[in-house]
Amino acid sequence: MKILSVNAGSSSLKFQAFEMPEEEVLISGVFEKIGLEDSFYTIKFNGEKIRKEVELKNHDKAFKILMDELLEYGVVESLDEIKGIGHRVVQGGSYFDESVIVDDDVLSKIDELSSLAPLHNPAHIVGIKAAMKAAPNAVEAVVFDTAFHQTMAEENYLYALPYEWCDEYKIRKYGAHGTSHKYVSLRMNEILGRYNTKLITCHIGNGASISAVKDGKCINTSMGLTPNAGLIMGSRCGDIDATIVPYMMKKLNLTPEEMDTILNKKSGLLGISGVSSDSRDIEDGIIKGDSRCDLAQKMYVRRIIDYIAKYYVELGGCDAIVFTAGVGENSVHTRREVIDGLSVLGVKIDEEANNVRGVEQLITAPDSTIPCYIIPTNEELMIARDTYRLSANNERDL
């Protein structure tokens, strides 16, 4: 069965087509600068990559081209072969604890949650509607980044603010990167050969979060109401004393929007180093002797260690720690510093095994008390799996 996995942003559309249940990637690509000047798309097929510059007025146009290319490349002979299209949705609030087939009610709930994810949810709706037009016979499914975290207990998802705020204003922890945390924890359990496990999964990319996963279920996670909370990130501050916000807004006469931009786009590694939000640039800066890059890296690593330590205690031990996403999969340096910081727990690195990028690998020594693994994430595959399951069930019910 052919399944399309889609991630629609406000000006972009990433896709991957799979043959399911074999989980074979048939074609992938990304449309960029939709609705802007100089729009283009790239496609990867059979090991080759092509790039085409074309006017992309809106997402409808991008989907139309995508369907034409699927036919052109012979991925499908007829669009009816695409049985399901799965869409990544950033914010599912408390409504969704699993992936669902799209209907009017689902669309209106995603729309209602736009205030919590203003950059993402409206773009997802545009993408879903464009996909419905382009492939009207496919089942449309939505896979929420928040769904995996819905198993958290009230004491973990509530903030110690007026209790009514949760009901009245939806103020609570929802988490993010759930599709990735779910994928790597499933894979980790496969490697361990059992499912009654205590895992700490570290999704450390430009955005970053850590989850505590017990028996396959998330019990706590570092991101909060929005993806600004928890770890120090590329340009996001992570956890801070909330009172800094009104204090500095008064001092600098900032609007809420200006403050939001500082917390999300001018803080984190970028804010401290003054150099870059990209951990590769921070590593280069450290090599050149830049003391603020060094400081930024120390703070970044410290926060990761703090969260792992917190979740180790909360889980009552840990069977494995997983590193994934851009930094987690590729930064030899950051992984080493985090593991060294856990030495009090008896975690020991295997320097040679850790000296790799982007591959699944055990990176701790045989006598390490907790094994640490790199597991490259695959959110697209996770979306395809759920969409395949929902599409196949839907076909059986017809």
Task: Give the residues lining the site for ligand ADP (CB under 6 A).
Answer: 205-207, 234, 278-280, 325-327, 330-331, 357
**Closest CB 354 distance from ligand ADP, rounded Å:** 13
Whose Cβ is closer to ligand ADP: residue 180's or residue 197's? Answer: 180
**Closest CB 247 distance from ligand ADP, rounded Å:** 29
**Closest CB 303 distance from ligand ADP, rounded Å:** 15
Strand order in the sheet with 372-374: 217-221, 208-214, 198-204, 320-324, 372-374, 361-362
Whose Cβ is closer to ligand ADP: residue 90's or residue 138's? Answer: 90
Which residue is associated with the tokens 């590729």? 330
Whose Cβ is closer to ligand ADP: residue 86's or residue 268's? Answer: 268
**Closest CB 34 distance from ligand ADP, rounded Å:** 18
Could you tell me which of 211, 217, 210 has the C-alpha nearest to residue 186?
A: 217
- Residue closest to ligand ADP when measured from CB atoms: 326
- Clarify whether 241 is annotated catalytic: no
Whose Cβ is closer to ligand ADP: residue 39's or residue 377's? Answer: 377
Catalytic residue among 80, 145, 215, 241: 145
**Closest CB 162 distance from ligand ADP, rounded Å:** 32
Whose Cβ is closer to ligand ADP: residue 127's or residue 227's? Answer: 227
**Closest CB 320 distance from ligand ADP, rounded Å:** 20
Whose Cβ is closer to ligand ADP: residue 127's or residue 207's? Answer: 207
- Catalytic machinery residues: 145
